[in-house]
Amino acid sequence: MARIQLFSDDGLEELERTVDPGTTSSVFSNLRPDTIYTMIVVSDDAVVSSDTRKTNLLDGISATMVTSDSVQLTWNVVGTATSYEISFISQDTTTAELNTSISAGQSMALVQNLQPQTLYTFSIVAVIGTTRNNVGSVTTATENANESPVLSNCPNDTAAVLPDTSSFVSVTWTPPTATDDDGTPTVSSTHQQGSLFEYGLTYVTYTAVDTEALTANCSFTVNVTDTTLPVINNCPGTVPALLIPGDSLVEVLWTVPTEGDNSGFVTLMSTHSPGAAFPLGDTPVTYTAVDAAGNTMACIFNVSVTPARSVLFAINLEVQETLSPPSQEERFLLEQGIDALWSDAVNK
Ligand SMILES: [Ca+2]
Ligand SMILES: [Ca+2]
């Protein structure tokens, strides 16, 4: 008879069996994984053969469900285990953390409170009586945490020119596309493409919001310019006035012209206002309309002051002024009438 002895390296196991002479193989079952065993074959009290081997880690350990903060581990049951211990270590630490103890018979555990997008190595130890034996390990990375949505193809800044006859212009663009790691985000914008814009620079902003209220923004400008000149309506012709003998200035009235512009933004400036005092001779009066873009239009006319030619009626005017002073307008009309009469008299 031959005798086979099997010792574990840690001295905790010692097995022995006898076999018939001529036997060339024998199987020992239910050994511990990841453990060094030495086998000795003895025949006639002499060692005829020996060998030292280490049992394998058990396979079948896997990460069956991975999220951004948890990993579910499964493994094959170790029949002799009384419990399991699970520990893990992340790529950026040097100390493994004991996570939990799992009772015998279990073959699944959920490791939680992990960091997202991190590489972890999970190790499982089978506790067999008073010994602890590696079952195996698995390395996997946790998923990304929820990421903000992304707005792609944000439109470039856009320019448009106001039409001659409108204070608005329709501007079109291709809206950006919104994507997210979790479904389709909700997209809103301050302006819709194709809507109307007035003169000036307008910021258009798109916002995408995912299911966890993470946002992304994209902005561009719409610059509406104006090249159409403003207009001045009812520009006066030459405005005549008569200067009373002895005066150096005469107050002159006229109807103020009106301004307009396609943009709706226009201001009117002038060198003189109605009621201003003018000396003898021609004095140009200029009205200038300026729109928001700085385009200008001018209206120019003369105030033409001539001397009243009728001394007689001028005296009469002064007499009347003494009794009941005429208004400036009445005085002007009276002088014009006097001059007409005077011209008639001269021409006859
Ligand atoms: Ca997201
Ligand atoms: Ca304009």
CA of 208 from ligand 1 middle (Å) equals 10
* Ligand 2 center from residue 3 Cα (angstroms): 112
CA atoms in the 13 A half-sphere facing the CB of 256: 13
pLDDT digits (tens, 9 = 90+) for 273-313: 999 999 999 999 999 999 999 999 999 999 999 987 655 55
pLDDT of residue 310: 56
The neighbour count for residue 20, using CB atoms within 10 Å, is 7
Gap from CA of 101 to ligand 2 centroid (Å): 80
Distance 142 CA to ligand 1 centre (A): 16
By the 10 Å C-beta count (0-12 exposed, 13-18 middle, 19+ buried), 148 is classed as: middle
Q: How far is the CA of 160 from the centre of ligand 2 (A)?
A: 13
By residue count, the chain amounts to: 348
Task: Give tens-digit pLDDT for 80-89.
Answer: 788 889 989 9
| The two three-digit tokens of residue 193, written as one number | 């493409």
What does the pLDDT look like over 200-238, one tens digit per residue? 999 999 999 998 899 999 999 999 999 999 999 999 999
Whether residue 253 is predicted with pLDDT greater than 60 in this model: the reply is yes
Confidence band for 318, pLDDT divided at 50, 70 and 90 = low
Side chain identity, residue 268: L
Residues pairing with 73 in the sheet: 63, 109
Look at residues 219, 190, 200, 114 and name the one whose alpha carbon lies nearest to residue 162.
200
Specify the pTM. Answer: 0.53
CATH 3.40.50.720, applies to 62-141: no
- Please state, in angstroms and as integers, the Cα–Cα distance from residue 110 to each residue in 100, 277, 297, following that order: 9, 97, 80
Task: For residue 77, report the distance from its CA to the centre of ligand 2, in Å.
Answer: 85
CA 150 to ligand 1 center in whole angstroms: 9
302: CA distance to ligand 1 center in Å? 72
Give me the residues near ligand 2 (ion), CB cutoff below 5 Å.
Answer: 226, 228, 261-263, 291
Q: Please give the CATH number for the structural domain made up of 150-225.
A: 2.60.40
First to last CA, the chain: 171
Give distance in angstroms: CA of 181 to centre of ligand 1: 5
pLDDT at 341: 60
Going by pLDDT thresholds of 50, 70 and 90, the confidence category of residue 328 is confident
The domain ranges of the chain are: 2-54, 62-141, 150-225
CATH topology of 62-141 equal to that of 150-225?
A: yes
Q: How many CA atoms lie within 13 A of 61 on its CB side?
A: 21
Give the ligand at the shortest distance from the Cα of 291.
2
Q: How many whole angstroms from its chain centre is CA 347?
A: 83
- Per-residue tokens: 156: 């470039």
Cα 319 to ligand 1 centre (Å): 94
Q: How far apart are CA 84 and CA 101, in angstroms?
A: 6
Q: Give 229 Cα–ligand 1 centroid separation in angstroms.
A: 51
Binned at pLDDT 50, 70 and 90, residue 77 comes out as confident
Cα 192 to ligand 2 centre (Å) = 25
